[in-house]
C-alpha cells in the first residue's frame, strides 16, 4: 500500500522560508513512472497546484509561484521536499503531497494527509 | 479563477441522485482524461474516478463518471449523508502542460 506523509514546521514567520518533506512508503520514488507533486489548499478554498518533480529530477512549477518554489528529491530516504521562500500570510494553507500518473491519464492516485502551515509573526 | 468550471454547490435528499458538472475547453477536458476527487470534511482529497469513468478499488458503483466534448459529469445515486463532501474534477491541460483542477462543488445531502 502506497502511503505519503508530510512533515515540517506548522508555523513560519513572514518573509521566511517554508520547508516541508513528504516521506513515501510502499513505492520507491526511484522506480519512475510517476510525478511527485505538491498541492495546497487555503482554508475554505480550492486546490492549487504548486509543482511536480519526476524521478529524473526535472521539475515543473506553477507560474505564479515559480520564483519562490523549489521541489527536490532525496532518493536514499525516499522523500521529496518543498521549499517556498519569502512567505506571506497568503501562503497559509494545508499543504498536500501527492503522486500523479504520468502517461496519458494524469490523475493523483495517492495523497498525504496534509500539513497545515500558518504564516504569522 | 480555476481553469475548469464547477457549480459551487449542489444538494439533494438521501436516496436521490445528483450530478456535478465540470466544464473546460479543447486544451484540457476536450482532449484529455478527466478524474474526480472526493474531499470529506477535514480530510485529504481522495481519488474517486479516473480516465473519465473508471472507479478505483473500493469506490461503490453508486458513483459514475462521463465525458462529452469539453465537459464531464460525476453522478452519484442512492445519496447517503456520508457523501456530503467537496468534489473536484481534474485533468491535464495541454496548453499549460500541467494538471488543472476545478474550483470544487460542495454536495449537501438534505
CA distance B7 to chain A (A): 13
Residues B48-104: pLDDT tens digits? Answer: 999 999 999 999 999 999 999 999 999 999 999 999 999 999 999 999 999 999 999
Nearest-CB residue to B50 (from A46, A107, A114): A107
Listed in sequence order, the DSSP H helices in chain B are: none
B27 touches chain A (CB under 8 A): no
- Give the model's pLDDT for residue A55: 85
**What string of H, E and C letters represents the secondary structure of A28-65?**
CHHHCCEEEEEEEECCCCCCEEEEEEECCCCEEECCCC
Residues A14-45: pLDDT tens digits? Answer: 999 999 999 999 999 999 889 999 999 999 99
Q: Average pLDDT, stretch B27-32?
A: 96
Nearest-CB residue to B2 (from A37, A46, A111): A46
B7 touches chain A (CB under 8 A): no
Residues A46-93: pLDDT tens digits? Answer: 999 999 999 888 999 999 999 999 999 999 999 999 999 999 999 999
Taking one residue from A and the other from B, the number of pairs with CB-CB distance under 8 angstroms is 58
Yes or no, beta carbons of B47 and A107 under 8 Å apart: yes
Beta bridge partners of B67: B72
Contacts of A44 (CB under 8 A, 6+ apart): none
Q: CA nearest B51 in A: which residue?
A: A105
For the record, the C-alpha cell of A89 comes out as 500570510
Q: CA nearest B36 in A: which residue?
A: A107
- Give the model's pLDDT for residue B38: 98
Amino acid at each position: 500500500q502506497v502511503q505519503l506523509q508530510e512533515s515540517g514546521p506548522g508555523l513560519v514567520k513572514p518573509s521566511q522560508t517554508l520547508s516541508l518533506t513528504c516521506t513515501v512508503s510502499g513505492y520507491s520514488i526511484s522506480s519512475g513512472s510517476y510525478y511527485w507533486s505538491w498541492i495546497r489548499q487555503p482554508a475554505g478554498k480550492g486546490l492549487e497546484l504548486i509543482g511536480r518533480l519526476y524521478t529524473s529530477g526535472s521539475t515543473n512549477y506553477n507560474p505564479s509561484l515559480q520564483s519562490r518554489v523549489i521541489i527536490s528529491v532525496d532518493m536514499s530516504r525516499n522523500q521529496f521536499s518543498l521549499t517556498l521562500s519569502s512567505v506571506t500570510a497568503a501562503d497559509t494553507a494545508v499543504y498536500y503531497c501527492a503522486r500523479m500518473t504520468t502517461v496519458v491519464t494524469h490523475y493523483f492516485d495517492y495523497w498525504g494527509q496534509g500539513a497545515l502551515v500558518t504564516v504569522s509573526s | 479563477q480555476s481553469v475548469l468550471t464547477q457549480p459551487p454547490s449542489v444538494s439533494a435528499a438521501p436516496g436521490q441522485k445528483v450530478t456535478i458538472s465540470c466544464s473546460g475547453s479543447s486544451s484540457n477536458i476536450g482532449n484529455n482524461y478527466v478524474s474526480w476527487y472526493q474531499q470529506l470534511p477535514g480530510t485529504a482529497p481522495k481519488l474517486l474516478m479516473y480516465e473519465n469513468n473508471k472507479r478505483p478499488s473500493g469506490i461503490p458503483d453508486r458513483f459514475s463518471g462521463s465525458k462529452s466534448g469539453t465537459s464531464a459529469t460525476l453522478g452519484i445515486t442512492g445519496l447517503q449523508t456520508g457523501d456530503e463532501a467537496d468534489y473536484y474534477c481534474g485533468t491535464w491541460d495541454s496548453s499549460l502542460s500541467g494538471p488543472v483542477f476545478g474550483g470544487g462543488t460542495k454536495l449537501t445531502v438534505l
